[in-house]
Every structure is written in structure tokens, then in C-alpha cells.
Amino acid sequence: MDEAELAAKIDHTVLGPETTPADVERVLDEASEYGMNACIPPCYVAEGRDYAPDVTLATVVGFPHGQHATVAKREEAVAARDDGADELDVVTNVGRLKAGEHDRVREDIEEVVAAVPIPVKVIIETALLSDEEKRDACRLAKEADADFVKTSTGFAATGARVEDVALMSEYLPVKASGGVGDYETARAMFDAGAERIGASSGTAIVENFRRRR
């Protein structure tokens, strides 16, 4: 993997509750400079699209807990696409998953997938799930025709783990997100089967890679 290939696999991210327009512009500038994608809050997508038209732009749906009503997730997805998002990361309803309401979890994801003609990644929040629940979540995402599964919102107690990426990659392409702050960690995730990295430290990952060349 060369630097350009690595950068294209990174979603450089800013999603904290205090994120300002200036924070978004900084992340978009860095994404553009390094050749990364960007993941920003939905309220800034239209501005971000105008500011950095050449950056692949992802945003989140039902963030961060996944407990929005399905109709709200669907409308949020449509609005994000209309604002210029290229990809969506939607949060699974973990409570319904844990309650065994698998049909409702699947239908929740299906509504978002059907509403937009762009890739949908399903965040399953691995820190809150048993291995059996992780498998259920990935299976349901696959049945709902999602494009990726993603480890974490970045706001749980733990984020991406190699063993979780390996498990999830049995079902769909994986975005490893949460706690991936350097190239060594990113490489471990890729080796485990990740296709994409979500990180607020995208620039550090690429810089780490450069120093190893």
C-alpha cells in the first residue's frame, strides 16, 4: 500500500459536540491536502460540500446512540444526501438489538439504505455488545443491504479492536473507528480485514506512514 492508497482509506473525522465550522474547515483542508475522505456532523454537510467540493464527504445518521425514530433516520439520511454527502454512517439501535428485536433493527437500517443511492455504513458500537450480538448486528446489516459495518461511534468506552474487525469482516467490509491514532494501529486493523479507518488523527496516521518509508 502506498501513501495515496492509505490516505484514500481514511475517513478524517470531527464529530464532537463542540465542533465548530472552523473545526470542519480544518479537517476538510487536511483531508484535501493528504488525499483523505472526511466525516463531519450533518449540520455542516452543505457548507462542507461548498468548501471542499473534491473531498469525499461522509456524515452520520442517528448519531450517537441510534435511538432516533426510523422515520427521523430516513429523513436525516435524505437531507444529508441532498446537502451533498457522499456516504452515510448510521448508528444501530443497540437497545432493540439487545432486546432481540431483530426484525425492527433490520427494518431500521433498510429504511435508510432504501432512501439514498449512496453507500451506507452501519455503526454497531462493539463496546456494548457480546460476540453473539456483534454477529447478529453484522448479519442484520448485511440482510439490510448495507455497504459496510463500522466498529464504533468513538464515544463508547472502547473503540476498534483487532478481534472485532476480524469477526465483522466475515459479513461485510469494515470501517475500524475509535482509538485508531497512529499507523501501527491502523495497519493492525487493515491486517485484520478493515477496508476503511475512521479517525480524528488521520494526518498523524499518514505522517507516521511517511516516517516509516
Helix (H) or strand (E) holding 88: strand 87-91
Residue 201 backbone dihedrals phi, psi, to 5 degrees: -105, 35
89 is catalytic: yes
Spatial contact of 171 and 139, defined as CB atoms under 8 Å apart: yes
**Annotation says 83 is catalytic:** no
Q: How far apart are the first and last CA of the chain?
A: 11
Q: Which of 9, 11, 83, 89 is catalytic?
A: 89
- Angstrom distance (rounded) from CA 16 to CA 53: 23
Spatial distance between the Cα atoms of 134 and 23, rounded to a whole number of angstroms: 33
**Spacing of C-alpha 156 from chain mean position:** 14
- Catalytic: 2? no
Which residue among the candidates 9, 121, 134, 150 is catalytic per the annotation?
150
How many residues comprise the chain? 213
Helices (H), 35-182: 45-51, 70-83, 94-98, 102-115, 131-143, 162-168
Hey, what's the cell of 175? 470501517
Say how far apart CA 34 and CA 202 lie, in whole Å: 9
**Active centre residues (catalytic):** 89, 150, 175
